Structure 1
Amino acid sequence: MPAEAKVWLAAFIALFVFRYLRTVVPIFTFNLYRPKRIRDKARYTSSDVTVVVPTTFKSETELMHCLRCIFACSPAEVLIVCSIANVPLIKQICSLKGFKQVEALKEVETEIVVFADDDVFWPGPQYIDYLLAVFEDEKTGAGGTRQRARRNPGFFTNVYNFLGISYLERRVWNNISTNAIDGSLSTLSGRTAAYLTAILQNEELYEWLERQNDDDKCLTRYVYSHGWNITIQSDPNAVLETNLEDNPKYISQCMRWARGHWRGNFTVMSQESYWCSSRYWWGLYVIYVGQFQSPALLIDGLLFGLLGGAMKGSDDTRFAFICLGAWIFFTKIVKLIPHFLRYPQDMMYIPVSIAFSYLHGFINIYALATQSNTHWGSQKIESLQPARAQNEEVVPLLRNAISEGEVFGAEMPGRMMMGRDYFSVSELAHLIEAYATLAAMAGSLRHGDGAELP
């Protein structure tokens, strides 16, 4: 091999390892990481928990079902935070379900406080027990569980719903791998997060929250900077479900997340030291160094350029390009394999998923340039401040919410995830077989031979 080609090859290998090491390692981490088990004599139980639910009252039906899931876990208290205009309506809901009052963090009297969004659905009455298992380690100050975006009912879903599902599947993958390796975490998601109350009930934190735009990032930073661990519960019995935007507003939602990501990380990097310590060496590489591997289209394009330089004049150039392309394709779908095992029909969106992953790189760049914009892109805050219903409208609204909430059965939000959540060789073969079956069905339909989908 000519000396020039060796230089190109060395540059290719260096960039390839730097780019994809954070993808290869989690494949093993995801399989080897073990959930935190519930002890017979647990350190904390649901009676030690206060759940705080901030709500914009975007959907009364979602809120009702969210509260049902929380109430089923029997926490000591549930505090609901909303705009002043909606307090009467919230009190009506709470009186129906036996909740106490609308208060805030300063009023918490239990040892554990759990923050939960108003559109999350816990899987069963033991959810809190699984969440509390992370605190068996006395060094743990906060913890969360795995998350899943709720898939719309029906055999097929829409593309925005699938993209939301993909987002959370990838996020869970990244969170579990970094947390398992060195305890690091980009952000402890506020969809549901548990904290030792003693950590949060102090004037220093209250001042932090008043100055920060991104509560989740702020709380994550605060816990780490004060020497506590954050632990993710990966047990399949503790996978919450949530609703993401399943319409074009999803793009605005991604923009808001991306801006918060840059703001939070830059705040940590400029004001804290834990992020670059030897303790969180893997998180340093994946979270803080890895954030600059964007846009992915540029990095992957550079890989092809370097490989072309290394293989110049070789008869195997085409084969090398095919191998690199196949590898990149694999890395784009590997984190979604658990979802495809559950819903093989969603493999029809693989091309869209890959295209969006490249588009998201440019969304990240734009978010970086506009990170000072704290606008809530997927919703208009001013529309959430007025009362959701006037006095005479409260009862009909609640009745409608209750009736709609009844459709949330065992197959809908809050269901427990069954079985393994990753894949084996046999399961991967089953996935390929299912894909082939769908392809055959599609071909039959095109030729009009009357084949029907299951």
Structure 2
Amino acid sequence: MSGLKAFIALFIFRYLRTVVSIFAYATYKPKPVLEKPTYTSDDVSVIIPTTFKTPDEIAHCVQRILGNRPAAIFMVTANINVPLVESLVAIHTSTSTITVLGVDELNKRNQILKAMPLIKTKITVLADDDVFWPDNYLEYLLAIFEDPGVGAGGTRQRVRRNENPGSWNFLGISYLERRVWNNCATNAIDGSISTLSGRTAAYRTDVIQKDEFYHYFTHDTWRGKPLNSDDDKCLTRWVYSNGHKIVLQFDSRAVIETTVEGDIKYLSQCMRWARAHWRGNFTVMENEQYWRSLRYIWGLYYIYISQFQTPALLIDGLLFFFLHLALEDATLTTARIAYVVLAIWIIFTKNLKMIPHFRKYPQDLKFVPIGIVFSYFHGLINLWALFTMKTTHWGSQNLTSLQQSRADDAEVIPLLKNTIDEPTLGHDMIGDDYFAAEQTS
């Protein structure tokens, strides 16, 4: 009987959030766009910190953002590459909307703050240089600010699916699909969120355009070590700790597309994200009050308590062990059925968050075994990240090398020409329903 009680307790602890998340994901309504909205694209400035690593992606990223007609765009890169970025902008647009700024050392936080004093609009959007916005993206994003209590927010995201995706591409897709699901599962219920993703996030300018924030942002440390990464974690804490709400716009017409590493460097990204996850959550738990308030009680369970359900191999193993103890007096047939049912449930839940993707791309079901194996491997990554949180470098990027000139004089023209001849396009979608829409070329 003790084995049965232990099994039931662990099963509920592990899967209560899964069951509730299905309801939250299925019923979460997008924020409506008003006929006469409080904010329009004229009220938006966009900051794009860039390493200028992939000029073709950057060119298309900027084109997609320009298509949304913001009041101003500030691109911030290493000082030595400012002329190159200006040239890139010049050959793709004649607009005066874009201002290119430089910093001595590439550091996303300092790049953001370089542009902040120049912002004159009521809304500031921070965007990575590898995101692709759909048309009319800003009008859906801005709808969240109709609530005066909202200080920041974002939208859904997806990883660009290659025409013939391999395992790495699928794993990247899986990562963001699961993250979007998890964010919805908490934000829809009590407004909590682990991290407002820095890929694209909107903030009321007066929330972050102040000296107190600048100091907070640049003096963020982990055990005394200054942080360059984890900027979106820091921004999320700032918004919540100052009493503002964070809201996600889940309209299917406001889904940004991005890229992740398409080879073994993806593992370095996973390690960086996992370390940031632990550091960010522990920093909140040590220094903030909001995470354990009744206002965010669901987030307390889903984000901060359930983070210790790792590695999955250990938790799933314990479930089978406790089930075995509970079935000591059962017949062999009953025991086998129980084990099979538990195994099917585990496999189902490991693929639950990918069902929307599989509905659209049933051919990707062939990757299910890889996804399951990687989910257990990722548990080990989480465990290693927990014990190596003091490692704060980016992992998949060498910022020192990216601070050097991107091209010498002879290489400038070919480099810029490639951004015209071989653009890395995002996939525009036809149709209102993201999961049923068709890709254009």
The letter for the 2-side match of 1:180 is A
Q: How does 1:56-205 map to 2 (within 5 A)?
A: 56-96=51-91, 97=93, 98=95, 99-103=97-101, 104-124=115-135, 126-154=136-164, 157-205=165-213
Are positions 1:331 and 2:349 aligned together?
yes
* 8 A contact 2:50–2:76 mirrored in 1: yes
In structure 1, C-alpha distance between the alignment counterparts of 2:347 and 2:325, rounded to whole Å: 22
Are positions 1:17 and 2:12 aligned together?
yes
Aligned to 2:296: 280
Of 393-402 and 192-201, deviating more is 393-402
The letter for the 2-side match of 1:401 is T
Q: CA RMSD in A?
A: 1.3
Aligned to 1:348: 366
Q: Which runs of 5+ in 2 are unaligned?
A: 102-114, 221-226, 437-441
| Greater gyration radius | 1
* 8 A contact 2:253–2:433 mirrored in 1: no
* 8 A contact 1:337–1:422 mirrored in 2: no
In structure 1, C-alpha distance between the alignment counterparts of 2:79 and 2:187, rounded to whole Å: 38
In structure 2, C-alpha distance between the alignment counterparts of 1:385 and 1:349, rounded to whole Å: 38
Displacement, 1:90?
A: 1.1
Aligned to 2:25, the other structure's residue is in SS state helix
* Deviations 1:57-80 (CA, angstroms, capped at 9, x unpaired): 111000000000000000000000
In structure 1, C-alpha distance between the alignment counterparts of 2:285 and 2:141, rounded to whole Å: 29
* 8 A contact 1:239–1:417 mirrored in 2: no
- TM-score (norm: length of structure 1): 0.88
Displacement, 1:379?
A: 1.4
The letter for the 2-side match of 1:318 is R
The letter for the 2-side match of 1:332 is K
Displacement, 1:8?
A: 1.1
In structure 1, C-alpha distance between the alignment counterparts of 2:416 and 2:175, rounded to whole Å: 32
Aligned to 2:253, the other structure's residue is in SS state helix
Are positions 1:301 and 2:328 aligned together?
no
* 8 A contact 2:154–2:196 mirrored in 1: yes
Q: In the superposition, relative to structure 1, how do residues 286 and 308 fare at CA in structure 2: closer, same or farther (>3 Å)?
A: same
The letter for the 2-side match of 1:179 is N
In structure 2, C-alpha distance between the alignment counterparts of 1:91 and 1:390, rounded to whole Å: 15
Displacement, 1:245?
A: 0.7
In structure 2, C-alpha distance between the alignment counterparts of 1:89 and 1:244, rounded to whole Å: 24
Are positions 1:247 and 2:263 aligned together?
yes
In structure 1, C-alpha distance between the alignment counterparts of 2:321 and 2:434, rounded to whole Å: 37
Aligned to 1:446: none
In structure 2, C-alpha distance between the alignment counterparts of 1:223 and 1:392, rounded to whole Å: 46
In structure 1, C-alpha distance between the alignment counterparts of 2:50 and 2:81, rounded to whole Å: 10
Query: Which of 245, 250, 268 is matched with 1:229 structurally?
Result: 245
Aligned to 1:374: 392
* Deviations 1:386-423 (CA, angstroms, capped at 9, x unpaired): 11123443233211111112x73xxxx14136454569
Aligned to 2:260, the other structure's residue is in SS state coil
Aligned to 2:98, the other structure's residue is in SS state coil
Q: In the superposition, relative to structure 1, how do residues 37 and 417 fare at CA in structure 2: closer, same or farther (>3 Å)?
A: farther
Aligned to 1:146, the other structure's residue is in SS state strand
Give percent identity, aligned residues only.
55
The letter for the 2-side match of 1:70 is I
Q: Which runs of 5+ in 1 are unaligned?
A: 1-5, 424-454
* 8 A contact 1:131–1:145 mirrored in 2: yes
* 8 A contact 2:350–2:372 mirrored in 1: yes
In structure 2, C-alpha distance between the alignment counterparts of 1:229 and 1:79, rounded to whole Å: 26
Aligned to 2:223: none
Aligned to 1:30: 25
Displacement, 1:313?
A: 2.8
* Deviations 1:60-118 (CA, angstroms, capped at 9, x unpaired): 00000000000000000000011111101111122332243124112111000000000
Displaced runs of 4 or more, over 3 A: 417-423
In structure 1, C-alpha distance between the alignment counterparts of 2:429 and 2:17, rounded to whole Å: 30
In structure 2, C-alpha distance between the alignment counterparts of 1:23 and 1:61, rounded to whole Å: 40
Aligned to 1:247, the other structure's residue is in SS state coil
Aligned to 1:359: 377
* Deviations 1:309-361 (CA, angstroms, capped at 9, x unpaired): 00113111110000000100100111001111111111111011001111111
- TM-score (norm: length of structure 2): 0.91
The alignment of Structure 1 onto Structure 2 pairs a total of residues equal to 410
In structure 2, C-alpha distance between the alignment counterparts of 1:347 and 1:290, rounded to whole Å: 28
In structure 2, C-alpha distance between the alignment counterparts of 1:182 and 1:418, rounded to whole Å: 30
The letter for the 1-side match of 2:162 is N
* 8 A contact 2:75–2:98 mirrored in 1: no
* 8 A contact 1:48–1:110 mirrored in 2: yes
